[in-house]
Structure 1
């Protein structure tokens, strides 16, 4: 069976979260407007908040992988 593609908004959130982990600026968001941009910025913002709260990169990657597992259809 083919694997379902992930929702684009979920992918945008994940990519934004990963961009912040890598230290990239939010001005580098690849989306011009719309829901994908909103979700990318939400992911970026959540990652930065996690950094400020003391999560290191390894903990952030683990949190992101848990988020992805929870949002997959069963």
Structure 2
């Protein structure tokens, strides 16, 4: 059975979170559409906050699974 594709906005958020928790710069946002950029930046901010709070990669992956 084929898997359904994830919602593109959710995907942008997840990718932004991964960039934030990885310590990447927000200027690396690949989106130009306002809605997608907003989602990516929201994920990036949360990921960056988690990075600063000292959340490790395993906990971040669990957190992403429940988002």
- Scaled by the length of structure 2, the TM-score of the pair is 0.85
Residues 47-62 of structure 1 correspond to what in structure 2 (within 5 A)? 47-62=47-62
Q: 3-state SS of the aligned residue for 1:54?
A: coil
The gaps in structure 2 that reach 5 residues or longer are: none
The gaps in structure 1 that reach 5 residues or longer are: 68-74
Q: Residue 47 and residue 26 in structure 1: after superposition, are their counterparts in 2 closer, same or farther (change >3 A)? A: same
C-alpha distance in 1 between matches for 2:18 and 2:58: 12
Query: How many pairs were matched up?
Result: 67
Residues 1-74 of structure 1 correspond to what in structure 2 (within 5 A)? 1-67=1-67
Please report how far the alpha carbon of residue 3 of structure 1 lies from its aligned counterpart in structure 2 after TM superposition.
2.0
Please report how far the alpha carbon of residue 9 of structure 1 lies from its aligned counterpart in structure 2 after TM superposition.
0.2
- Scaled by the length of structure 1, the TM-score of the pair is 0.79
Q: Deviations over 1:17-45 (max 9, x none)?
A: 01112221000000013211100000000
Give the ranges of 4+ consecutive aligned residues of structure 1 lying more than 2 Å apart after TM superposition.
none
